[in-house]
Every structure is written in structure tokens, then in C-alpha cells.
Structure 1
Amino acid sequence: MAYLFLLCAIFTEVVATSLLKSTEGFTRLWPTVVCLSGYGVSFALLALSISRGMRTDVAYALWSAIGTAAIVFIAVLFLGSPLSVAKVGGVGLIVTGVVALNLSGAH
């Protein structure tokens, strides 16, 4: 159940982050409300994941790494962000770091 809460937390965080541009600096009401609500729900779900037995370091590493990789993917595909070797390498380093944390007995 902890992993389900974590996956939902990642999803809501990615949706909220994807909406940041549409808030136009938090000047548009409804995109801002949805964006900030998404962040609130995401943190609540992350907390539920941790309260259900997932270790904080593992939960946060997975939440931030998967969320970052997903946002890069969305930005390149839908928000006009250019793909670069640096972006691919950066995401690769993030994934490598999370794998190293998990293999080192972080959970």
C-alpha cells in the first residue's frame, strides 16, 4: 500500500508541476488553485506512504527522481523544451543515484 500512495504522490506532483507555466506566475486563479492543491495532495500522499512503512530516504528519493524524470519527459514532449545530452545525462545520474541508494541498503 505504501508504494501505491507513493505512485499517486508522484503523479499528483507531476501534474501540479506541469501546470506551473499555465498559472502565469500565480496570476491565473484556477490553474493556480489546481497546481497548489496538487502539491498539497502530493505531500499528503508522500506522508501516507512513509506512515505505512516506507523509509523516508527511499520514499523521497523515488518521489523526487521519478518526478524529475517525468517532468523532463513532459517538458520535452509537450512544453517545447529542447532535448539535450546534458538533460539525458542528468536524468541518468538521478536514476543511478536512486539505484545506488536502494542497493546500499537504504530500505
Structure 2
Amino acid sequence: MPYVLLALAIAAEVAATLSLRASENFSRLGPSLIVAAGYLISFVLLAKVLTRLNVGPVYAIWSALGTVGAFVGGALLFGEQARPATVIGAAIVIAGVIVMNLGGGVHQ
């Protein structure tokens, strides 16, 4: 169950981050509300996950997949360029999380 909550926390964080761009400096109400709700939901769920799993690897997963999700979402929704270097960077971020989990894992 903590992994489902972690996935939902990541999804909420990515939605909030993408809505931050769509809010146009908080001048658009709908995206601005999604920013506030998304970050609140994300942190509440992340706090719940951290009662069951180790903080270092969980935060690494949350931040890395959030980063990659925002990168992919930016490319799909806003036409941001996905250059080879940025794709390689995203792969390195994911590889780092895998290595971190191999070194100790997320279970308490």
C-alpha cells in the first residue's frame, strides 16, 4: 500500500508542477488551484508513506520520478524540446534511484 500512496504523491506533484507553468504566474485561477491542491495532496501522501518506508530512498524516488514526470509532461503539454542530453539526464536520474535502492532499499 505505501507504494500506491507514493505513486499518487508523485502524480499529484507532477500535476501541480505542470499546472504551475499553466497558471501563468498565478494569473489563471484553475491551474493555480491545481497547484495548491496538488502540492498539498502530494505532501500529505508523502508524509503517510514515510511512516512505513525509509526517508532517503522514498524521497529519491519521489523527487526523481517527479522530475522525469515534469520533463515528459513539459514536452507533451507545452512542446518543450526533449534534446538527447536531457533524455540522458533523465535516464541518469532514474539510474541513480535504482542504485540508491540497491544500496539499502526503502523498507524500515
Q: Same fold (TM over 0.5)?
A: yes
- Residue correspondences, number: 106
User: For the Cα contact (< 8 Å) 2:15–2:34, is it kept in 1?
Assistant: no
Structure 2 residue aligned with 1:13: 13
Are 2:69 and 1:73 aligned? no
Q: Deviations over 1:34-88 (max 9, x none)?
A: 211110110000000111x111111111111111111111111221101101111
How far residue 94 of structure 1 moved from its aligned partner, in angstroms, is 0.3
TM-score by length of structure 1 reads 0.92
CA RMSD of aligned residues (A): 1.2
| Aligned partners of 1:57 and 1:106 also within 8 Å | no
Unaligned runs of 5+ in 2: none
Identity across matched positions, percent: 37
Which runs of structure 1 show a deviation greater than 4 angstroms over 4 or more consecutive aligned residues?
none
Deviation track 1:1-34 (CA, whole Å, cap 9, x = no partner) reads 1111101100111111111122111122332122
TM-score normalised by structure 2 residue count: 0.91
Which consecutive unaligned segments of at least 5 residues does structure 1 have?
none
**Cα 1:28–1:77, aligned 2, differ >3 Å: closer, same or farther?**
closer
**The residue matched to 2:104 in structure 1 has which SS?**
coil
